[in-house]
């Protein structure tokens, strides 16, 4: 279970990084070209989006890295990352995989027994 949590958390974190790159870039575009928000609708909370673009994927990757050794902390980090992505970016075509993978990895890390059976 720990290896599955590590793998799913790493994939979810990397995919979350991709979402974060585009979200941060979009907010940067809105800062540089404010007239763009007239056409696209802008964003409600730019600070939250910019912060979670960095924090959520880093929490997922850190949780994945800890999944084999400190599974309870890893599970909490992975679930927090999943919740952060869901609350910030919503559930859509580009966010459904990182949210689902991080949530599943967090559940697997929390359910892992000490030590893993071989």
- pLDDT of 114 over the 80 cut: no
Using CB atoms within 10 Å of the CB of residue 81, give its burial: 0 to 12 exposed, 13 to 18 middle, 19+ buried. buried
pTM: 0.90
Reported as a single tens digit per residue, the pLDDT across 57-88 is 999 999 999 999 899 999 999 999 999 999 99
User: Using an 8 Å Cβ cutoff, are 106 and 5 in contact?
Assistant: yes
The SS3 assignment for 93 reads: coil
- pLDDT of 117 over the 80 cut: no
């Amino acid at each position: 279970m720990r290896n599955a949590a590590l793998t799913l958390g790493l994939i979810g974190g990397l995919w979350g990084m991709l979402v974060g790159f585009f979200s941060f870039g979009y907010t940067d575009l809105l800062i540089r070209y404010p007239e763009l928000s007239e056409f696209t609708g802008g964003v409600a909370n730019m600070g939250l989006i910019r912060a979670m673009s960095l924090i959520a994927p880093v929490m997922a990757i850190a949780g994945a890295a800890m999944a084999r050794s400190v599974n309870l902390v890893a599970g909490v980090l992975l679930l927090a990352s999943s919740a952060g992505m869901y609350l910030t970016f919503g559930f859509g075509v580009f966010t459904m995989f990182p949210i689902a993978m991080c949530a599943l990895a967090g559940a697997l890390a929390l359910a892992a027994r000490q030590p893993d059976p071989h």
